[in-house]
Structure 1
Amino acid sequence: MGIIRVNINNRELTAQEGTTILKIALDNGIDIPNLCYDSRLKPYGACGVCVVEIDGIPKLQRACSTIAADGMIIKTDTARTLAARKVAFELLASDHRGDCRPPCVNACPAHTDCQGYVGLIANGQYEEAIKLVKDVIALPASLGRVCPHPCETACRRQNVDDPIAIAELKRFLGDVDINNGVFVPAVKKSTGKKVAVVGAGPAGVSCAYFLAMEGHQVVIYEAMPHPGGMLRYGIPEYRLPKDILDTEIDVLTKMGVELKYNVKLGEDVSVAYLNKAYDAVFVAIGAWASSSIGCTGQDMEGVLGGIDFLRKATQSEPIYMGNKVIVIGGGNTAMDVARTAVRLGAESVQLLYRRTRDEMPAEEIEIEEAEEEGVQFNFLVAPIEITGDGTRANAIRCQKMKLGEPDASGRRKPEPIEGEEITFDADLIVSAIGQKVDASAIQELTQTKKGTIVVNDGTFETNIEGVFAGGEAATGPKIAVEAVAQGKNAAKVINGYLNGVIIPVANPCFIIQEDLCKKDFDHVEKQNREHPVVVVPDKRKLSFSPIAETFSEEKALKEASRCLECGCHDYFECKLVNYIDKYKIDTKKISGEKHKRREEQTHPFIVRNADKCILCGQCIRACEEFIGVGAIGLEKRGFDSKVIPEFNLPLNESSCISCGQCVDVCPTGACMENEAVKKQVPVDFENVNSVCNYCGVGCNLVLQTKGDLVFKSVPDRSKEEGLLCVKGRFGINYINDESRIKTPVVTRNGSSLEVTLKEALTLTAKNLQLIKGQYGKDSVAILASPRFTNEEAFIMKKVANSLDTSFVGSMAYNDVSGMEAVLGCNASTNSYEELNSTDLIVSVGNIDENHPVMAVKIKYAAQNKGKLVSIAESKTRMEEYADLSIKPYNSTEFLKSFIKALFDGGYVNEAEVSNKAKNLENLKNYVKDAKDCGEAAKLAKMYGEAKKAIIVADDDMVTSDAYKLLADAAVITGKIGKAHSGIIVVRSSSNAQGFIDMGIKVPGKEILEQIKAGKIKAAVIIGEDPIGADYINAEILKKLEFVATFDMFMTNTALASNVVVPMGSFAESEGTITRSDRKIQKITTAIAPVNGSTVFDNLSQFGKYLDVNIASLSEAAEKLSAEIPEYAGLAVAEVEDKDIYVPNSTANTYGVQVLYTDGFNKEDKKAVLSLPENDKIFVDKKIYDSVQMKFNAYLKANGLK
């Protein structure tokens, strides 16, 4: 193909002919929105959001399906394209049912991720939950105690029973944080910028907290002697202990924030001074003045404002109360005043409210607890006059009221009952009907009629440049979390200002469900809400001690588990919500019929929601075009189109192979995975690149983690095809499995005892040394699963050497290597990449089922260039794409016929082969009597005529004798020892090739025969479960004098062992593995080891007790490189952080992709053609690895393929 030139947005670009506009744009970093595009799939053009303008073409064109032509001039973001995209997004949103964010998050003024931290609590991840809360809230323990929790008011759980106790869970987290040593957020490098914050209340503290995180130097000026604002002086001690508040605010000082007390703005320091001394100023002075009652006598001695009363009580100032206290108001402040008065010893506390109890704005729990403590409520009374004895107020005269029509607040308006009054005697009257801002001392800042500071909406800017204001100073009295939100948002704007740009804070655009009712939750099981333990009234009213206990861990876990998980689990990955916010889409602009279809969830891994589907078709196309299965399709047409499994079967009963590609390509939450945790939580994950730990294909993946849990495994789209099979995609639950062994176990005389790791390892080493000393060479065996790293395998082999045993191998090996017998090396001869350049691929075995990703590689390579032959014992999906499908009788007789046909067809240059191989004549005689077979002849013709051919063999099933004959065929036809021709052995385990290279290669059955014969007296079994696999019974292991099992789970083999040592998962490991085509890839640590030590640590320590001293991974890599010639370049490659092939060297760290280019791995460099006795081509696949066994059992239990 030729090169074309196009111009996109005035950038001159080049591309290959036949490339779409969208691909050219994306390849060059030019963003064009798209929802139905995947570079691996054919263009579809469904979503209509990628439209662009092309000079000379009047209509907008879809970039995903328009092939670029030479000389095209393209504009991506014009008025026309933006308008068209907005309409497209509005239409998509109009029938997209769901909640991008849950109601609790939307209702919280600070948009705290309630669903996120509640879910993390349910999973036992308190540290991660604390961090998530502190991304938004600086004072979780304090706010958890006092917040009136609008999040709970919005909670949809109340459609089932009661809302989630979100505030109590926040309090629980805050207390866990304090008790474990307060989490201090990371602070960025100093910017050199200084910010003054006026006021140490919720808004000021919040603003300072987030500015400090950005690396700015922050100084807080506070008028009072201590920080906290209304949290300290307006909230009684029994609700919020001040030591809790102080501990949380102290985090600011640890972040570098300086606090100056008893400094009042307008008196001790001016706005002008601060504006000159600092790069920015944030004014958050709060609302400290009490609202007036509005009746005569209100200024009399004996009348106090609610805030003044609470402040005096907090500061232990004298308050004359007498015996009778009247409190006016119906909000939480009024409750605090009344209950404080009770604790200060008032004999009678009466509360006056002009409406009824139903209209009281106070929280119901506050009202109930006030009643329990003896506060008397008088409803439908409004003050007319306060009277006194000339020196002090002693009574309040009130008008009786009735409720009329609702007012602007939605509450029924109180109206006077003509001629009806009532008088209450009082020694103290406290007005708690509201607060207001007193900014009279800072007149340079423009103020409203209500005394609040005027600020620009969304930017917090005042009339003075560089001076910002927020919290109650700007909004008037609000709940504390509103002030916290103001402070956080102001910090964001101020940070932008300090960096040269002011970006207004705006609420993101979301899709919200507003038509749900109780019927929609009929399927949810009722579960009682947890309540904190509250001190009995008669006791609690006697002091200011806390009245309620923080949730216990048990209660917190139960309560968190009640969350309905309303918010979309795909929020952090959803492309649609990102575009809706980016393009500021009004999601309610286009209204009309909206689907409401409950989806029955039958698949254990995949969750489907048709009401979030935008009909992009990616899932269908990926399943059909890419994977080649076609398990899903569209039913109906137009508005009612819906993606369904074939024949409308449940997905788990369809032909779905559970690879998860539908999930990976879905741009919304219509197709999602069940995470590998108890509680599904949409959070922003840490992404760690690693390699699948199941079969030897070595698929690249990304482990998505949060704290100490692995939530997801997704394909690494940056490498190769970006594919995983069911094992790599969903086989990670075992990592978080609570049944993992966490402590070593020693069994003596039928009794098991938990011991330390050191005790277990020293006991194992001592017993092995004793047996070696008593019985000599080869009296000890090591059986290990090839799922461990090269570095770990290297230590295992060193341990075997120390124990003087040659019996070190794995149950994963069916037999001795047939490849090695012929070629001199048990390894693939070519790389995966070469499949795309060969003329013919011969697939041997059930690769499609055992190694699905390799099957996709083969399928694509064959479709793009070459031909495909499938040889299998039974029907496989591979034959659907094969040019020739063969299901021979399971005997090597077929392969002998194949070789005979190669000779008969003239495809063997005998003179040339004689120079490269031995036994040619013997081979010719060996096959001469083979029965002629039409299929063998067809195969020979295709293989013989192909200039280049690669055989891909399934090591799970292909026998040693079959390998010998396949290698014979490759040698005699010259289709080996050169690029694009050879044999690829697809291994059963992730590092089987690496284990072979490390010298761990004795077939397990040979070791077991030696155990039965009584030659082997002790065994170390690592990660394998031969008893659980029904290969042997426990009686065989009883022949051994000592057995140690190293594993993650208490397997049947572990139960029959003397010592059991816990091991880690690949997510906790680091090192390298060698995949089936000899490419070395890196395993990266994703989470901290669950047991406190890694597999390498355990093996290193074990080796130390047997005089094998390898203390670190780097030391292992160095020694491995020095001692194993084929890995000589490993240590260098690790430093350079790159993948390499085996063999490699210090001079060639990239390694060799093609083996035998200069002869075979024999002394004379000649292959030794093999003449095996008649045997089977295939054997049944058998799994011995404990992790694979566990996952296979799960698949079987759920009826999955």
Structure 2
Amino acid sequence: MWLTINDKQIEANEGMSVLNAALGAGIYIPHLCGHPDLEAVGGCRLCSVEIEGMNQAVPSCMIKVQEGMKVTVNGPKAEKTRKTAMELILATHPADCTGCPKYGKCELQSMYQYLGVGPERWKKKTRTVPTDESNPLIRHLFTRCVRCGRCVRACRELRGVKVLDFQTTEEGVRIGTDGNISLIEAGCKFCGACIEVCPTGSIMDALGQISEDVSYGEHVVPCRTACPAHTDIPRYLRYIKEGDYEKATSVIREKLPFPETLGCICNHVCETACKRNELGEPLSICKLKRAAAASHSDKWKKNRKSAAPTGKKAAIIGAGPAGLTAAYYLAKKGHEVTVFEANEKAGGQCRYGIPSYRLPDEVLDREISDILEVGVRLKVNTTSEAPEVLLKQGYDTVLIAIGTHKGILLPLEGNKLSGVILNTDFLKNARRDQIGDLGKKVMVLGGGNVAYDCARTALRLGAEEVHIACLESKNNMTADAEEIKEGKDEGIILHSGYSFLRITGNTKVQGVELQKVDQFYFDENRKAVIKLVEGSQEIIPVDHVIFAVGQAPDGTNTLGVELNHGSYVKVNSSFSTSVSGVFGAGDVVTGTKSVIEAIAAGRQSAIEMDRYLGGDGDISEELLKKEMADPFLGRTEGFGNLERLTPSRLEPQERKKSFAAVEQPFTCGEASCEAGRCLQCDLRLNITNPKLWNEY
């Protein structure tokens, strides 16, 4: 139907409000309680207009369009009504906007500027209601509330959680919970919809939740931002909650070619960033990823696309997570890819540095097979030529991704004795079933996850007593808390906060002398300062000592590229080395980090190498068509206090007997319950952002 607004004829759909018809046609009508995603209530009166045939100005959000209707936006009656309404709103609003977190982005500020109602006309009434900072994640500045009701409608209608409402208090009407109980007690789901629709900054993210270092969207969904590969975590968690593992796997694989591997061993920095930490414990994101991937659905492959052959050839040196990831994406871009691997099997440190009780061979084999399917050629038991030689042999580009397979030996007295082993050699030979008799007692030196891998492996290989000693206090150890607990349950004896003085013995290891650390810190030059407790020396009798204090690249001095810090490959921001056409990625560049960071580096190096080969560098893929998530959450009693679920594990005494997988995947019911704890932070980004007047 047709109507006229400000002498301009516009077309509108039947049932549409005059306000929405005008805004849709690019004609601005002031409004505050109205929001594109919420039902109108006509409370603020700021959207008042004059309509031919009506004596008084009326709220345009409440009037439906009619054929032939004539509307005047800025008539004298409408302007008087709007200015009076604005002055009433401002009468109890702080005059100083500069301290407001929404300064410069406030809809109210924009509107009073548009209406020409300045602070000098405000008839002030003091409202000294203290800010409520008692709830996690959400901060409520009552003095900035204009009672527009958007937050109430978003909570009740848009989300269906029904926590917020208008409350009558001694200070007057304000927004809150029935009985003034906490948001957790009231059943809040902390989705943030109230924050998103608030026009003035009365309801805000709690202090510390917003970072200036990242974009707004990135801080709203911190788990996705923290993930080095930026996997769309909330999206696949919704599918897991619904029990649709096929769709969840597709979403994960849009960014990661190793989903089940990561589900077993990822360091899950996404969980550290999860907003659920403010309510207790984070989502078990890593284990949920495994639950989806362990369904072994192959339906994602039907949407996997590969480009036509480009005639370009790429060589990858090293078949670890970084090298195989780069190979996968380069092959999908149409390039001919060959991966050279010196070991008998692909997988890098995933294969030879992580025990099979954490990452079974069959998981790695299955996901490497998926990578090879796209046309990647793998040469195992093959030591590659130097990159410049490969370029001369016809390869157009080369990636160095050989990882860090050389263990570090500390310069301790006795470090050459029989019975001293390096972490990398020990774990690799354990995987190959090439470890001899360890004797009864073993000492592992180091406090990281690799130290625990070595210690727990030694137990499974027959050692009766296994110790771990490290400089750091228990609270400052780099090993995951989960690893420390599992090690303790299995009988690992931890000596945290001890310095290693020497390894005792004549020709063979007999013990390790330790001394208690009083202070351990790094000075301004990043040099370690260790102060010991006098008279605290003790010798722990052991038969073998395993050094697990770090690892480094091996053989990089023969590659012909510029190195950093001794043996690490130096690259620039585009992953290029000092040799044109040669790139570097993963631990060989950064030092030993995590598998997910190596995968992220493999992705980025593939982008840069594709560009070098003349491509557009676009390796993104859509394995599942995006669906609009349902904004309606509904109530879940006790949602804020739901406890984190953990997968079942073998009992400690049982798991020490073999290298069988310690942890089992979530059952479907467990996965659905755990995924249901997600706050679904990303739904905030689907809420329409209202335009300010200067945008029309």
Establish whether TM, by shorter chain, passes 0.5.
yes
With over 3 angstroms needed to count, the CA separation of the structure-2 counterparts of 1:311 and 1:193, relative to structure 1, is same
3-state SS, counterpart of residue 176 of structure 1: coil
Matched with 1:1063 is none
- In structure 2, how many angstroms separate the alpha carbons of the residues matched to 1:442 and 1:319? 32
Question: How much has 1:90 moved relative to structure 2?
Answer: 11
Matched ranges for 1:345-364 at <5 A: 345-364=462-481
- In structure 1, how many angstroms separate the alpha carbons of the residues matched to 2:402 and 2:381? 13
1:377 aligns with 2:494: yes
Question: How much has 1:191 moved relative to structure 2?
Answer: 2.0
Matched with 2:503 is 386
- In structure 1, how many angstroms separate the alpha carbons of the residues matched to 2:23 and 2:389? 58
Q: 1:251 aligns with which of 349, 370, 378?
A: 370
Q: 2:421 aligns with which of 271, 293, 304?
A: 304
Matched with 2:661 is 546
Cα deviation digits, residues 1013-1053 of structure 1 (max 9, x gap): xxxxxxxxxxxxxxxxxxxxxxxxxxxxxxxxxxxxxxxxx
Q: Is the 8 A contact 1:234 1:311 kept in 2?
A: yes
Matched with 1:615 is 692
Letter in 2 for 1:185: R
Matched with 1:41 is 26
Q: Is the 8 A contact 2:417 2:506 kept in 1?
A: no
Letter in 1 for 2:455: A
Cα deviation digits, residues 554-579 of structure 1 (max 9, x gap): 111111111001235436xxxxxxxx
Question: How much has 1:38 moved relative to structure 2?
Answer: 7.6
3-state SS, counterpart of residue 217 of structure 2: coil
- In structure 1, how many angstroms separate the alpha carbons of the residues matched to 2:415 and 2:475? 27
Gaps of 5+ in 1: 1-18, 20-36, 47-88, 506-521, 572-606, 622-1201
Matched with 1:533 is 648
Letter in 1 for 2:412: C
- In structure 1, how many angstroms separate the alpha carbons of the residues matched to 2:475 and 2:529? 13
With over 3 angstroms needed to count, the CA separation of the structure-2 counterparts of 1:45 and 1:409, relative to structure 1, is farther
Matched with 2:232 is 113
Matched with 1:401 is 517
Q: Is the 8 A contact 1:289 1:307 kept in 2?
A: yes
Matched ranges for 1:539-938 at <5 A: 539-570=654-685, 615-616=692-693
- In structure 2, how many angstroms separate the alpha carbons of the residues matched to 1:538 and 1:160? 34
- In structure 2, how many angstroms separate the alpha carbons of the residues matched to 1:183 and 1:380? 54
1:215 aligns with 2:334: yes
Question: How much has 1:187 moved relative to structure 2?
Answer: 1.7
3-state SS, counterpart of residue 309 of structure 1: helix
- In structure 2, how many angstroms separate the alpha carbons of the residues matched to 1:165 and 1:273? 46
Q: 1:474 aligns with which of 572, 575, 589?
A: 589
1:236 aligns with 2:355: yes
Q: Is the 8 A contact 2:262 2:595 kept in 1?
A: yes
1:426 aligns with 2:545: no
Letter in 2 for 1:310: L
Question: How much has 1:116 moved relative to structure 2?
Answer: 1.8
Matched with 2:433 is 316
- In structure 2, how many angstroms separate the alpha carbons of the residues matched to 1:272 and 1:339? 42
- In structure 2, how many angstroms separate the alpha carbons of the residues matched to 1:291 and 1:91? 55
Question: How much has 1:531 moved relative to structure 2?
Answer: 1.1
Q: Is the 8 A contact 1:218 1:258 kept in 2?
A: yes
Q: Is the 8 A contact 2:449 2:480 kept in 1?
A: yes
- In structure 1, how many angstroms separate the alpha carbons of the residues matched to 2:681 and 2:477? 30
Cα deviation digits, residues 316-367 of structure 1 (max 9, x gap): 1133411110001111101111000000000110111112211111111111
Q: Is the 8 A contact 1:271 1:442 kept in 2?
A: no
Q: Is the 8 A contact 1:355 1:403 kept in 2?
A: no
Matched with 2:531 is 415
Question: How much has 1:447 moved relative to structure 2?
Answer: 0.1
With over 3 angstroms needed to count, the CA separation of the structure-2 counterparts of 1:429 and 1:405, relative to structure 1, is closer
Letter in 1 for 2:403: G
Question: How much has 1:179 moved relative to structure 2?
Answer: 8.2
3-state SS, counterpart of residue 602 of structure 2: helix
3-state SS, counterpart of residue 304 of structure 1: strand
With over 3 angstroms needed to count, the CA separation of the structure-2 counterparts of 1:138 and 1:537, relative to structure 1, is same
- In structure 1, how many angstroms separate the alpha carbons of the residues matched to 2:545 and 2:607? 43
- In structure 1, how many angstroms separate the alpha carbons of the residues matched to 2:619 and 2:326? 16
Q: How many residues matched?
A: 485
With over 3 angstroms needed to count, the CA separation of the structure-2 counterparts of 1:282 and 1:168, relative to structure 1, is same
3-state SS, counterpart of residue 246 of structure 1: helix
Letter in 2 for 1:447: L
1:104 aligns with 2:251: no
3-state SS, counterpart of residue 494 of structure 2: strand
- In structure 1, how many angstroms separate the alpha carbons of the residues matched to 2:652 and 2:270? 28
- In structure 2, how many angstroms separate the alpha carbons of the residues matched to 1:307 and 1:409? 29
Letter in 1 for 2:428: R
Question: How much has 1:369 moved relative to structure 2?
Answer: 0.9
Letter in 2 for 1:491: A
Q: Is the 8 A contact 1:320 1:428 kept in 2?
A: no
Letter in 2 for 1:333: V
1:271 aligns with 2:256: no
With over 3 angstroms needed to count, the CA separation of the structure-2 counterparts of 1:534 and 1:408, relative to structure 1, is farther
1:164 aligns with 2:287: no
- In structure 2, how many angstroms separate the alpha carbons of the residues matched to 1:565 and 1:210? 30
- In structure 2, how many angstroms separate the alpha carbons of the residues matched to 1:41 and 1:552? 52
- In structure 1, how many angstroms separate the alpha carbons of the residues matched to 2:104 and 2:404? 45
3-state SS, counterpart of residue 567 of structure 1: helix
- In structure 1, how many angstroms separate the alpha carbons of the residues matched to 2:379 and 2:353? 20
Question: How much has 1:251 moved relative to structure 2?
Answer: 0.6
With over 3 angstroms needed to count, the CA separation of the structure-2 counterparts of 1:399 and 1:127, relative to structure 1, is same
Gaps of 5+ in 2: 1-7, 9-21, 32-101, 107-199, 211-215, 621-636
Matched ranges for 1:81-230 at <5 A: 92=105, 99-101=216-218, 102-177=221-296, 185-230=304-349
3-state SS, counterpart of residue 177 of structure 1: coil
Q: Which has the higher contact order (CA 8 A, sep 6+)?
A: 2
- In structure 1, how many angstroms separate the alpha carbons of the residues matched to 2:682 and 2:598? 25
Letter in 2 for 1:538: Q
Q: Is the 8 A contact 2:329 2:619 kept in 1?
A: no
Q: Is the 8 A contact 1:403 1:412 kept in 2?
A: no
Q: Is the 8 A contact 1:184 1:255 kept in 2?
A: no
Q: Is the 8 A contact 2:246 2:297 kept in 1?
A: no
- In structure 1, how many angstroms separate the alpha carbons of the residues matched to 2:521 and 2:465? 33
Task: Name the TM-score, length of structure 2 as normaliser.
Answer: 0.65
- In structure 2, how many angstroms separate the alpha carbons of the residues matched to 1:470 and 1:106? 21
1:339 aligns with 2:452: no
Matched with 1:290 is 407
- In structure 2, how many angstroms separate the alpha carbons of the residues matched to 1:525 and 1:330? 35
